[in-house]
Structure 1
């Protein structure tokens, strides 16, 4: 079954929200949240991870809808569809820079909204072919920017919804500008993809910038998730079902890092 497009509504007029919900209730789209201002939209973006945001440009107060769109896109490369009662030329130019997939003026008839969204998504996907998809074969290579939240590392596919639970990354290994992410079986099952590897076209240090401090750089080419560290042997580490070689001279610094983490947890 095709996964429905998840829509976040950002609108501060209750009647407009009701009209939008009425328009979408008999479609295949799924409303995953409603927000009336910038801050609540940001909170819902982080918890619900929508695919598309229906966003009122003229939100009362500040920040306005355009600034809200800019903030949302910093969290995830989400699609923006603006709804507005009126728009000055200056506002239009600002809005255009956020690369929305569509505009619709209020008031609108219920089916106008549905058709405009359908058309906008169709045109977006036609104009953004498979180079943005995450491929699903063994030697998978990702040449795309990364985005992270407290829970997820995003590797955009065609609909910008491919995400990896950071907690389910066991360790990372780099080679010649590419970094391979080794995932738990739980994560591979959740992704429902028949892949053995996820490889990102970025160096290890660059990827670590997107990850929390539970990840420890063991060497120039290997970083481990300390939460998956089960055992430290003389020459190797055990992380779940994986064994990772322990380079000479790295055992003691690793033990010191573990002790520091344990001390912080006790306090």
Structure 2
């Protein structure tokens, strides 16, 4: 698991430092704060943050709303606007560029935590409803566990944690939920069915190999088509007869060999 990286764009030092403090206490990794749009763009391109917190009233030739447009044009990212303004025109202008949550000054740590979770959840829901997505590969609108970009954003007792796809070995179905097994050996409960997890991971290197297992094919070490088993990072898992052909097809795609 790794920390959620959050870029802070705030030209008031007091608020910028406070956001850093809050985010660190919540277990996230703050980037910045930076006071200008130019610095924000440079840091955004260099580090590719998971989320951006930016002040609407940023001073300079490029304000927060215009900066949000520039960042979103480079790469889709969840945006949270920080503002001392609560008037409707300001809200509408910010919403038009894709803001997923708002924080009004002054703010508390609890407010920041809620905004981060809401923005990540809304970002996943937008991806799920995108007309550019194939119907069978759209992730569901997660209520508890969020799946976006190159990582899982999962909810635990203290908030959200980030799990890169590369660290995931497989997902195993349980009685009431499924369990994500990481390379570290950690087993992480997911509040969703295995079917929903498989749908959400479509388009990544994950493939269902059994009614009770979805594996990360990047960690696949062997396949026994006679004994109907697969080896994943030293673990032997069952291979369902109805899933064997799909696994072989997906492996061809991953290897780039075609049919």
**TM-score category of the 2 structures, normalised to the smaller one:** 0.5 to 0.7
The alpha carbon displacement at 1:61 in A equals 7.1
Decide whether aligned partners of structure 1 residues 159 and 9 sit closer, same or farther in structure 2, where only a CA change above 3 A counts: farther
**Cα shift at 1:245:** 0.7
> Which one of the candidate residues 233, 256, 259 is aligned to 1:263?
256
Q: Sort the Cα spacing of 1:67 and 1:207 in 2 relative to 1 into closer, same or farther, 3 A.
A: farther
Matched, 1:100 2:102: yes
**TM-fit CA distance, 1:182:** 1.5
Kept in 1, the 8 Å contact 2:56–2:65? The answer is no
- Aligned to 1:156, the other structure's residue is in SS state strand
- Look up the SS of the partner of 2:152 in the other structure: strand
In the alignment, what sits opposite 1:173? 172
Corresponding position of 1:229? 220
Mapped partners of 1:126, 1:237: distance in 2: 41
Q: Please tell me whether the aligned partners of residues 172 and 180 of structure 1 are also in contact (alpha carbons under 8 angstroms).
A: yes
Q: What SS does structure 2 have at the residue aligned with 1:155? A: strand
Q: 1:83–1:56: structure 2 CA closer, same or farther, 3 Å change rule?
A: farther
**2:207 is aligned with 1:208:** no
Matches within 5 A, 1:74-113: 75=77, 80-82=81-83, 89-92=88-91, 98-103=100-105
Matches of 1:159 and 1:46, distance apart in 2: 25
Residues 167 and 211 (structure 1), Cα distance of their counterparts in 2 relative to 1, 3 Å cut: farther
What TM-score, normalized to structure 2? 0.58
Matches within 5 A, 1:187-206: 188=186, 196-206=187-197
Contact 2:50 2:77 in 1 (8 A): no
Superposed CA RMSD in Å reads 4.8
SS in 2 for 1:238: strand
Distance verdict in 2 for CA 1:124–1:176, change over 3 Å: same
Give the corresponding residue for 1:134.
none
Question: Tell me, which stretches of 5 or more residues in structure 2 are unaligned?
Answer: 25-29, 116-141
Matches within 5 A, 1:1-267: 8-10=7-9, 16=11, 19-20=12-13, 24=17, 28=21, 32-33=31-32, 34=34, 36=37, 40=41, 43=44, 47-49=48-50, 53-57=53-57, 60=62, 63-64=65-66, 75=77, 80-82=81-83, 89-92=88-91, 98-103=100-105, 116=106, 119-122=107-110, 144-150=144-150, 152-157=151-156, 160-175=159-174, 178-185=177-184, 188=186, 196-210=187-201, 212-233=203-224, 234-264=227-257
**Corresponding residue of 1:108:** none
Write the deviation string for residues 97-140 of structure 1: whole angstroms up to 9, x where unpaired.
8542323xxxxxxxxxxxx4xx521566699xxxxxxxxxxxxx
Query: Helix, strand or coil for the counterpart of 1:244?
Result: strand
The verdict on how the C-alpha distance between 1:200 and 1:40 changes in structure 2, with shifts beyond 3 A counting, is: farther
Distance, in Å, in 2 between the alignment partners of 1:60 and 1:202 is 45
CA change 1:41–1:121 in 2 (3 A) is farther
Where do 5+ consecutive residues of structure 1 fail to align? Answer: 104-115, 128-141, 189-195
